[in-house]
Chain A
Amino acid sequence: MRPITIALTKGRLARKTLELFRSIGIDPAGADDPDTRKLIFENEELGLRFFLAKGPDVPTYVHYGAADIGIVGRDTIIEEGKKLYEVLDLGYGRCRMCVCGPESARKYLENGEMIRVATKYPNITRDYFMNKKHQTVEIIKLNGSIELAPIVGLAELIVDIVETGSTLKENGLKVLEEVLPLSARVVVNQVSMKMENERISDLIRRMKEAL
């Protein structure tokens, strides 16, 4: 039997998802062992393979069929813009993509000025400002600690994921507008969905019932 390969986003999404698999009787073959140095985990009996990858790489693995199924945040799916089947909302990992900044920066959103926006998500940011707000902005791509940008004067505003808002608060920033609600999703390669319809649909149905 050809194994079905599942790519998980490293970190909390993977932990939650592996718990979900355990709860429906699927043993992830050691993928949830925090000390392991292995990269890929195979449950031969069930014909399943698991591996962990960085979020933005998960849609890439699934798009090319290197993984049949991926578990990834909606932000990453939209940002990467790959053609994938998005078949299940897992409901956890819930948070929001927001425009944030100091209260004093709110005026920039109201008078449509040319401003600089720092973000890890240039595509989502461009789409929001161009198509929804019809505002021209200069996007500055950063790779982490986005909150720093308005404080040190790199950008007027930021677009980032907000969970509890405590990092924002500690740095004198607040949510000014909401861009998108987010949560973890199950994505499937289009070829795998057709070639392995029964096994994949069955797995997804069981995950859905356990939610």
Chain B
Amino acid sequence: MANRAIHTPDGFRDLYGESCMAKRELMDRVREVFGRYAYENIETPTVEFFDVFSSDIGTTPSRELYKFFDRDGNTLVLRPDFTPSVARAAAMHFPDERFPARLSYEGSTFVNSAELQGRLKEQTQMGIELLGDASPEADAEVIAMTAEILLAAGISRFQVSVGEVDFFKALADASGLSGEEIGSLRALISSKNFFGVEELLGGFAVESRLKEAFVRLPNLFGGPEVLDEAAAFAAAPREKAALERLFAISRILEARGLSRYVSYDFGMLSKFNYYTGIIFSAYTYGTGEPVAKGGRYDNLLGHFGKEEPAVGFGVYIDQLMSALSRQGLRKGKEAEL
């Protein structure tokens, strides 16, 4: 039996010496990019009421939250993610004239994931939220920041993959499928399982135009040319509006010389229900999972009593550290879990 007095629980670790210094130095570089775009700091508590992360907001599944009770019997959670907390704080404290607001945060997030997966349960996240700006320029700004952070970290080979959940939602709403059926469809499309999509839709009376579109979504990813491919079959106004936004973002990123770091993926759909428009993930070698994730969530502040659009992203600092060391971009070796 391990001596509990000196060991850390599975998924939690000490960080010291060279690794700790390298992490702090990386965080300084990320902070410098936040500062370049004039984002102000915000701190929210580590512990929130369960309601902030509940299923109608659509975030981390309840069984992966660290939950406990306060003295009055309320359920509390350790934050699994910053976005709902920041949205809650801004909705609560900011008068209308404070918007648009540019906020940046950093700290630990806690996800009680399955054991023995080699994954940290406490992870450092740094990110920003741009609240009160619904324009494609705002979307492009946060995507550009994501790319600049990875460049500032010293990574040159990476891809920021951008999707549009409203494109899928427009098709889904027009299809007349039930919520549960749309859920299975979403899962199949986001795992790029187009034959599964064909099989599932085979059993439903869905308009053939929509069926074809659903089957194409999993394979619709790559450079800006996939936007043209989507334009060929987008018909309803809502589909066209979603697509037009991607075109607008792509033009801005092109003008800023970032287009080689950006690709598009119509099959990227998040399990976080709060996203309403673009979503994106940043990928690089040396880590099997994204190093940053973000998107637009125009209804989330509404849950907390303030109708403001919003877009933002978070960088997973520990993932980024392991990508850096596996790409040989760091001298030291990542401390063992």
Contact = CB atoms under 8 A, between A and B. Distances in A.
Given A189-B288, A195-B285, A84 B191 contact: yes
A197 B193 CA distance: 16
Interface string A1-32: 01000000000000000000000000000000
B124 to A, nearest CB: 20
A126 interface: no
B193 A190 contact: no
In this complex, the interface size class of chain A, counting residues with CB under 8 Å from chain B, is 20 to 34
Contact of B192 (A2, A62, A65, A86): A86
A85 interface: yes
Interface in B84-125: 118
Interface in B186-212: 191-196
B283 A190 contact: yes
Which interface residue of B191, B196, B287 has the most chain A CB atoms within 10 A? B191
B222 interface: yes
A193 B290 CA distance: 12
Contacts of B195: 88-89
19 contacts: A2-B285, A63-B288, A64-B288, A65-B286, A66-B288, A83-B191, A85-B191, A85-B193, A86-B193, A86-B196, A87-B193, A190-B290, A191-B283, A191-B284, A191-B289, A193-B221, A194-B221, A195-B283, A195-B285
Nearest to A65: B288
A191 B157 contact: no
Contacts of B59: none
Contacts, number: 54
A191 B192 contact: no
Given A191-B288, A194-B161, 9 more contacts: A84-B191, A85-B193, A87-B192, A190-B288, A191-B284, A191-B285, A195-B157, A197-B221, A197-B263
A188 B192 CA distance: 9
Contact of A194 (B191, B194, B196, B263): B263
Contacts of A63: 288
A194 B285 contact: no
B106 to A, nearest CB: 24
B159 interface: yes
Most A CB contacts (10 A, CB to CB) among B157, B159, B283 go to B283
A193 B190 CA distance: 13
A17 B244 CA distance: 42
Interface of A: 2, 62-66, 83-89, 188-191, 193-195, 197
Contacts of B159: 194-195
A64 B287 CA distance: 7
B222 A195 contact: no
Contacts of A191: 283-285, 287-290
Contacts of A88: 195
A62 B263 CA distance: 22
Nearest to B286: A65
Contacts of B196: 86
A2 to B, nearest CB: 7
Interface string B155-188: 0010101000000000000000000000000000
A48 B285 CA distance: 17
Nearest to A67: B288
Nearest to A89: B195
B283 to A, nearest CB: 4
Nearest to B159: A194
B118 A64 contact: yes
Interface string B140-164: 0000000000000000010101000
Contacts of A2: 285
B222 A197 contact: yes
A85 B192 contact: yes
Contacts of A194: 159, 161, 221, 263, 265, 283
Nearest to B194: A87
A197 B223 CA distance: 10
Contacts of A193: 192, 221
Nearest to A198: B222
Contact of B287 (A62, A65, A86, A197): A65
